[in-house]
Structure 1
Amino acid sequence: MTTPDAAARPLTDEEVEDFRRDGVVCVRGLYTPEWVATIESALDAVRERPALSVPGVSASFRSDAFTWHFDDAVRDFVLYGPSAHIARQVFGSKKVNLFYDQIFIKEALTSDLTPWHHDASFWPLEGDQIASLWTSVDAVDANSSALEFIAGSHRWDKLWKPIGVGGIVVSSEPLEALPDIDAHRSDYRILSWALEPGDALLFHARTVHGAQGNKSPDTSRRAIATRWCGDDVVYRPRVQEMPIPWAHGLRPGDPLSGPVFPRVLPELDRDALAERMRGPVFPEPELMRQAIEQMTNAERVQVRM
């Protein structure tokens, strides 16, 4: 395979409108069984790797990011799968760049919740054309940690304090905490879907979302999110931003490009991807050390949903 697969079907006009109105849409049957099998092999590889111990996060919650740089299954999924085409359809952009991939595994009876947050305040990006596609290789329902979204929250026009699993505060930027959504759930239109393998959730970077722990006694929730950017997105570093343990060389205001954030559409940037196509590209040791130190020493707050 040398070019990205077009989606099995384009988004309908109704799905595009749902995304623009609510900041999230469920796309049924986006990934073929072959792509689901490809993703599953990558997720199971994460299970086999030694886990980084993070204070406040249980061992039954596993996460990894930027795995496409060294895992060929994820590389093929992000570069040749249909995700970039779906992102470009809602962006209306000429080009689409990969920002990164992120893996989330909540084993059965994992109590760790994903606190309400939006992704925009975690990331060193500026622009409106930023979205994620989230999919699970396991059937997902409310009992097994289905995601919940606050409809229309992508239009709140505000960045909120970035609080992740375990109450880790990713940035020291002085941002306001989100309102206590769970204490006033009736004030919001909360959207959630039961998913089957191959289904995906497409959501804007500013859409507020979260998830409970996995209460299922026998079902894991193995999921991957791919993050995509369109024409208007530039690099805009924040105070103590999300660690990126690969040197990308971007300066504030630069559009995303290069081997860390390659262009996928309208065609693959083969020059930027040349090293990756020759083999795995692992994190730079010093940048990885700094990333681990940052996460270990990060501020922590109590979270609940």
Structure 2
Amino acid sequence: MLETEHELFERDGVVIIRGLFKDWIPLLESGVNTNEQQPGQWFRDYTPGQTQGRFWADYCNWQRIDAFNTFVKESPAAEIVKSIMGSQSVRMFHEHVLVKGTGSAKVTPWHHDAPYYPVDAKQTLSLWIPLDPISRESAIEFIAGSHKWGKHFKPLSFNGEYYDHAGSKEEVLPDIDSNRNDYNILGWELEPGDAIAFNYLTIHGAPGNLSKEHSRRAVSFRWLGDEAVYVNRGGKTSPQYPHLIDVLSTGDPLPEDEFPFVA
């Protein structure tokens, strides 16, 4: 099974994993609840003032929120990630909680993650785990094969502003929504316990949450494979890790206390 998933991941830059984390959903739900009650320094409310259809996110809390820490260290995630990436080792980068309330109209714009991050590795993988049933119409979508385009596209904040990366060769992403038939767009109806694994270079985006019954809660765990290094992007990154700028240069190994080996 994992060999097939590795082949699909290499070909499409994304693969669906069905049901393997079903028993871990209560733990992740407790983590999201703790995160909402005790937000971290990078907490963002993308719909300020709204109670209906609220969209909020937070990240880099896995070392302080016990539920996320337990998932990283004790779940089968790291070994699964290692097999899918085909790497010799797996390191934890960070987790990202994303919650779209019922009826949320807030769209997640098309983007890929690599240009946002101050890190790079020979293999990269995000493991996106939904905590609620998600219809195909509300599902996160991916452009198959886009991880092989050999390009970096300008990072765009969820509020619609481009990051300024001095000296970069980043391009503006094409208008995908107006030309959907030109791309092989993948998406799936999802249940709690499923997971989507995708490369940091795979272009993805998500519509609003059309459900009137369920929020769209998800936790995405970001992993690094072999030869992971720091990268100075020439400007703001997300996550920012501002303390690393003063001590690391592009190509330097990542500190193991902050980005530990898990498998």
Instruction: Tell me if both proteins adopt one fold, taking TM over 0.5 as the criterion.
Output: yes
Give the structure 1 partner of residue 254 of structure 2: 256
Distance 1:225 1:197 in 2: 13
Give the structure 2 partner of residue 16 of structure 1: 6
Give the structure 1 partner of residue 175 of structure 2: 180
In structure 2, the CA distance between the partners of 1:16 and 1:54, relative to structure 1 (3 Å rule), is closer
Three-state SS of the structure 2 residue aligned to 1:105 is strand
In structure 2, the CA distance between the partners of 1:44 and 1:153, relative to structure 1 (3 Å rule), is same
Structure 1 residue 110 corresponds to structure 2 residue 110: no
Structure 1 residue 199 corresponds to structure 2 residue 188: no
What whole-Å deviation, never above 9, does each CA across 1:128-149 have from its counterpart, x for those lacking one?
3011000011011134x31100
In structure 2, the CA distance between the partners of 1:56 and 1:253, relative to structure 1 (3 Å rule), is same
Distance 2:227 2:13 in 1: 18
Q: Is contact 1:234-1:256 (8 Å) kept?
A: yes
Give the structure 2 partner of residue 224 of structure 1: 219
Give the structure 2 partner of residue 160 of structure 1: 153
Query: Once the 2 structures are TM-superposed, how far is the Cα of residue 246 of structure 1 from its aligned partner?
Result: 7.3
Query: Once the 2 structures are TM-superposed, how far is the Cα of residue 190 of structure 1 from its aligned partner?
Result: 0.4
Give the structure 2 partner of residue 44 of structure 1: 33
Give the structure 2 partner of residue 95 of structure 1: 89
Structure 1 residue 31 corresponds to structure 2 residue 21: yes
Query: Once the 2 structures are TM-superposed, how far is the Cα of residue 264 of structure 1 from its aligned partner?
Result: 0.8
In structure 2, the CA distance between the partners of 1:82 and 1:56, relative to structure 1 (3 Å rule), is closer
Distance 2:122 2:55 in 1: 31
Three-state SS of the structure 2 residue aligned to 1:167 is coil
Three-state SS of the structure 1 residue aligned to 2:159 is helix
Give the structure 2 partner of residue 234 of structure 1: 229
The residue type paired with residue 259 of structure 1 is: D
Q: Is contact 2:62-2:69 (8 Å) kept?
A: yes
In structure 2, the CA distance between the partners of 1:17 and 1:217, relative to structure 1 (3 Å rule), is same
Equivalent residue pairs, number: 253
Give the structure 2 partner of residue 244 of structure 1: 240
What whole-Å deviation, never above 9, does each CA across 1:83-113 have from its counterpart, x for those lacking one?
2112211222221110110000001111111
Q: Is contact 2:39-2:58 (8 Å) kept?
A: no
Query: Once the 2 structures are TM-superposed, how far is the Cα of residue 250 of structure 1 from its aligned partner?
Result: 4.0
The residue type paired with residue 159 of structure 1 is: H
What whole-Å deviation, never above 9, does each CA across 1:50-79 have from its counterpart, x for those lacking one?
697868644511101011121000111112
Query: Once the 2 structures are TM-superposed, how far is the Cα of residue 49 of structure 1 from its aligned partner?
Result: 3.9
Structure 1 residue 146 corresponds to structure 2 residue 139: yes
Query: Once the 2 structures are TM-superposed, how far is the Cα of residue 182 of structure 1 from its aligned partner?
Result: 0.8
Three-state SS of the structure 1 residue aligned to 2:128 is strand
Three-state SS of the structure 2 residue aligned to 1:166 is coil
Q: Percent identity?
A: 41
The residue type paired with residue 146 of structure 1 is: A
In structure 2, the CA distance between the partners of 1:128 and 1:211, relative to structure 1 (3 Å rule), is same
Task: Select 2:67's aligned residue among 64, 68, 73.
Answer: 73
